[in-house]
Amino acid sequence: MTILIKGGTVVGPTGPYPADVLVDGETIAAIFAPGRGPEGPEVIDAGGKYVIPGAIDGHTHMQMPFGGTEASDTFDTGTRAAAIGGTTTIIDFAIQRYGEVVQDGLAAWHAKTADQCHIDYGFHMIVGGVDDDSLKAMDQLVASEGITSFKLFMAYPGVFYSDDGQILRAMQKARDNGALIMMHAENGPAIDVLVKQALERGETDPVFHGLTRPQELEAEATSRAIWLASVAADCPLYIVHLSASKALEQVKAARDLGRNVFAETCPQYLYLTLEDQLGAPGFEGAKWVCSTPLRSKHENHRADLWQGLRTNDLSVVSTDHCPFCMKDQKEMGLGDFSKIPNGIGSVEHRVDLLYQGVVDGKLSLARWVETIATTPARMFGMYPKKGIIAPGSDADIVLYDPAGRTRISVETHHMNMDYSAWEGWEIDGKVDTVLSRGEVIASGGTYTGRAGRGKYVPRGLSDYLI
């Protein structure tokens, strides 16, 4: 099918410009000056709307086992919600636990996604046990499986934790094969001490989840990961879900030295706070338990993170989408905050929440598109197939209406959750139409996509490697 998207303002990493976009089948065929497109094809009127590349969420956890339960969004429900919110590609995490075979973990995630995804998807690989076999598997996944990024944890001893020696070995392997190391940077053993001490004092409410994970332990781990990567011949390092000013300082210092160090943040850290959400009365704060935790509104974290996005010290905004329901899931931590499953659901709202940053004067239109689409595509080896409005690229396209308005609520969201972390939020903009590989899957509030149409995307190496 041939479609002409006519009369809109295309927004790319270089800024906005008026243009018509011709889609032929699954790809973008051409970009024309306004009114110069061909006669005859189906026309979508984009007048008054921004035409942006479909967003890429580089950090999601659908159906992830965690804390004795499993993330409540399946690949069906989660990718449908993502699509409605303007995200046309996700990169989820396949998991190898300690003692398991890396390739078996990958096969399990391929089985979960089979005939389920509404949009395209790729995988990162969590390496839960660094040894000779898993290091060999890293080479095989890069060479043959299109998986070019591996996540390690400095937190969660006994679950995913890797010690410094294991981290160094994995970084050395990544330096050899060109992969990117993604790091959950918190000092897990020290956090476990603080958690134990808090519980012994009877401090059991959700707010203590944040108070026992102070920003100093995020900054220390971030710094340690950066120096370990330096020892590994400047292995490419990507810090996930960075939440705090002191951790950002470590990333900025490394980038100022020209190091292969990158970081993402998430909407929850740009907007929500320890006092107003995590510290809500009673057990209500459990809705916002995630790791890294929400930070204090009495410090400069949110302002510093927005500035980091403007200066590119923070490269990407992902969601770390890992939703749990309050009933029977978050409630597992009643009387013991350490048993609350960690995670917030935002995959449906990231495009809107970051656009609010444009409205509020915190981001430019170009930077909005970079952080939600173009940079993730380049960072994770999907560019120019994804992340850009350009001839030859996949026709993953979102028409965004700046005159629209979005109200977020559990009553209207499509994620499989019994509450919304963003209940009552009003956004000065709205996703109007979503195309995935040339197919209109959402338009004017009507969803027409289907489970199983999403394709697995094998990824190349990061564009940012030095």
The reported pLDDT for the residue numbered 1 is 85
Mean pLDDT of 411-423: 98
Angle (CA) 358 424 317, round 5°: 40
pLDDT mean over 65-88: 96
Per-residue pLDDT at 99: 85
Q: Global pTM?
A: 0.98
Q: What is the mean pLDDT of the chain?
A: 97
Structure confidence at residue 466 (pLDDT): 64
pLDDT at 393 over 90: yes
User: What pLDDT sits at residue 90?
Assistant: 98
Please tell me whether the peptide bond between 292 and the residue prior to it is cis, using omega within 30 degrees of 0.
Answer: yes
List pLDDT tens digits, range 265-276. Answer: 999 999 999 999
Q: What is the pLDDT of residue 158?
A: 86
Q: Which domains does the chain have, with CATH numbers?
A: 54-379 (3.20.20.140)
Cβ-Cβ contacts under 8 Å for 370 (sequence gap 6 or more): 13
Tell me: the pLDDT tens digits for 300-338?
999 999 999 999 999 999 999 999 999 999 999 999 999
- What was the pLDDT predicted at 147? 98
